[in-house]
Amino acid sequence: MILEELKICDFRVISGEERISLAPRVRNNRKRPIILFGGLNGAGKTTTLTAIRLALYGRHSLGGNVSVKEYHAYLRESIHKGRNTLVQAKSAHIHLTFSYATRGEVSRYTIKRQWAVDTEAPDEPISETLGIEKDGNLLEELDYQQCQGFLNELVPIGVSDLFFFDGEKIAELAEDTSGKALGAAIRKLLGLDVITRMRDDLAIYLREKNTAAMPEEHQKEMADLKSAYEAAYSLYKKSMDDYSEAKRQVKRLESEVKKSEGYISSKGGEWARSRTQEQERVDALVAEKKQLEHQLRECMASAFPLVLSLNKVEELFTQLEAEQDYKKQQLLKVTMTKKLNLLKRSLESTLQDKLAVESAVEKAFSDVFADVKAVEVIHDCSERQFSSIRYLVKDVLPAARGQFLEIGEALADVQHQLDNASKNLERAPDEAFLQDELEQLRKFNDEKAGHTAKAQLAKEEARKALREAMDLMRKMQKKEQEFSSNFFSSRAYQMAKRSRELLNDFASQATENKVSQLEQEFTSSFQKLARKDDISLQAKIDPKTFDVRLLNNQGIEINKKQLSAGEKQIFAIAILEALARTSGRKLPVIIDTPLGRLDSKHRGKLVENYFPTASHQVVILSTDTEIDQAYFKSLQPHISHIYEVEYFPEEGNSEFLERKYFGQSLVEESVVQECVPDVA
């Protein structure tokens, strides 16, 4: 297959019709495979890839689960919207011309996909047409669905994913640790969906033959069950479409809400929206401030004034303690003197030596009667009064001081909040100033809530309809089993059964064979693209789960998460190249943003060893920071021609200009290199 020409009219950033030549050209007696598109981010390079995929696959180019409503909304939004609001395009079209070889015969096809909107009924479905010309003759016998089916068979979308890819596809495959992304690619590559469809067709055949062998009343019962099943399944699909549409509307309204909030915020709306709340907050802070001031006054009215002269209070307490100690000692001395006099008299009456008795007693109690430092008793307070003063100094005053500091800090914090809130009130415009914008925002939020509720309701209806359909299917299967004994012994049943078993065996064996070939192709591709200091990897792929195990030269498994970002991308590109080679298909390769996550050495390997040999036709969509001057010079011997995508902000559209690549021209080399084979 060779892509020859792409015509785009009023699609996305393209105004009017752009004609892009994609067929590789001969330069210096050699056909060069690379068509290089250069453009800054947002200029419209990706429009090329998007247009080709849309031309080929229509709704399915957006993903497998996209509803018709979502597809029509996409087509409507894809019609070019220029700066001139008075003159707007109402339709768009994409024409893709390519040559394709079947059984050695090359035919030239042109896909013509176009659509239009009714500006007076913007909510009505898009009017879309699809036609195919073969060798200049329109295939009139094919309607829209048949044309799409023909294209799907000609270039299956699952296979094209391996040839038409962008940075997101590479990143998805590089980060996948479950094997799901690779498994999906391999299944599409092997055409296992066709095998599944054949098995399903055989199951339908068996069911119909078995039903025909039933008595008439049971045939009617089976027909009723089948009709109810189809109705339930149709309701399930409709509900899922409604769910998808509601989710799309929710996403659209989320974007509108975000834009509206941004506009309101830029006009002071954040303060305007919270003006009432801010005023309530100010009132609450004022009330709290009054309460704290009242507490502070109560604190000041109690013992707190003594805290202001705490040093003097402590000096007083020290004096009082000294006085109390002195008075106790004096009292003790008087009491002991009386007791000793009594003791002396008692001993003198018993003993003859009066002087010896007095000397012995005085010596024994000399420490008790030692001179006590005299303290001037100034206050002469009682023990009870001293206890009260000690409680005041040791407990009441520290607590009062702590309470005062705590209230003071709280009061300062409230005053700070009050100052800020007052400033916000001064800043905030009156809500009436933004009334229209706020009303629009409320409307968006209400619509969003409504569509969210619709999505939830549709999801529940879909779940209910699916359960009902599954119950009806089980009833049909049970009814079939009641009358299947005669038919199961028939030759037709046995042949159909053996065919289904053969398909299962074929799918299993084909998968194992292709997986083995894929492992070998991956090892070859990775070694070609990796740097010298990269890990040398081999891939082991489980044919059932498609889980990829990476092994180094010693057979030790390497965790994919431990690979650098560059190694992961090289791994993914190697997988894609291996899948493409394993497929056996000769399709063009289209690569969007090819070098985004790679370092300079990995980029060099990709430029030198992948782009020139990736296919017989390689379309590269790049910025000036990816394919720079050095890489352009390296690729130049393989470049057929160049397009620069330039965006004109005044008009709001882009043009594809066949000229220099960011100022660099193609220069014919004097030495003719080895020719890249031309594969149709």
Q: How confident is the model at residue 676 (pLDDT cuts 50, 70, 90)?
A: very low
C-beta of residue 638 within 8 angstroms of C-beta of residue 33: yes
Residue 388 CA to residue 121 CA, distance in Å, equals 93
C-alpha distances out from residue 25 to 163, 547, 609, 610, Å: 20, 41, 21, 20
> In this predicted structure, what is the pLDDT of residue 170?
65
> In this predicted structure, what is the pLDDT of residue 677?
40
> Is residue 115's pLDDT more than 90?
yes
> In this predicted structure, what is the pLDDT of residue 86?
64
> Is residue 4's pLDDT more than 90?
yes
Residue 98 CA to residue 619 CA, distance in Å, equals 14
Average pLDDT, the chain: 78
**Strand ranges in 226-367 using DSSP code E only, listed in sequence order:** none
C-beta of residue 168 within 8 angstroms of C-beta of residue 56: no
> In this predicted structure, what is the pLDDT of residue 133?
94
Place of tokens 């290199």: 673
Residue type at 192? L
> Is residue 415's pLDDT more than 50?
yes
Which pair of structure tokens corresponds to residue 293? 């001031």
Percent of the chain at pLDDT > 70 equals 76
Q: How confident is the model at residue 673 (pLDDT cuts 50, 70, 90)?
A: very low
C-alpha distances out from residue 541 to 15, 559, 579, Å: 47, 14, 13
C-beta of residue 648 within 8 angstroms of C-beta of residue 656: no
Long-range Cβ contact pairs of 500-507 (< 8 A, separation 24 or more): 500/199, 500/202, 500/203, 503/195, 503/198, 503/199, 503/202, 504/199, 506/195, 507/190, 507/192, 507/195
pLDDT tens by residue, 50-84: 999 999 999 888 876 777 888 888 999 899 987 76
Residue 1 CA to residue 404 CA, distance in Å, equals 88
341 CB neighbour count, 10 Å cutoff = 11
> Is residue 486's pLDDT more than 70?
no
Rounded average pLDDT over 657-669: 80
Residue 631 C-alpha from the chain's centroid: 33
Sheet holding 653-657, edge to edge: 164-165, 589-592, 618-622, 34-38, 639-648, 653-657
Q: How confident is the model at residue 367 (pLDDT cuts 50, 70, 90)?
A: low
CA atoms within 13 A on the CB side of 670: 0
C-beta of residue 626 within 8 angstroms of C-beta of residue 595: yes
pLDDT tens by residue, 522-543: 888 888 887 766 667 787 888 7
The DSSP bridge pattern shows strands 589-592 and 618-622 to be: parallel
C-beta of residue 580 within 8 angstroms of C-beta of residue 162: yes
> Is residue 490's pLDDT more than 80?
no
Percent of the chain at pLDDT > 90 equals 15
Q: Give the bridge partners for 115, in sequence order.
A: 92, 128
Rounded average pLDDT over 474-480: 78
3-state SS, residue 558: strand
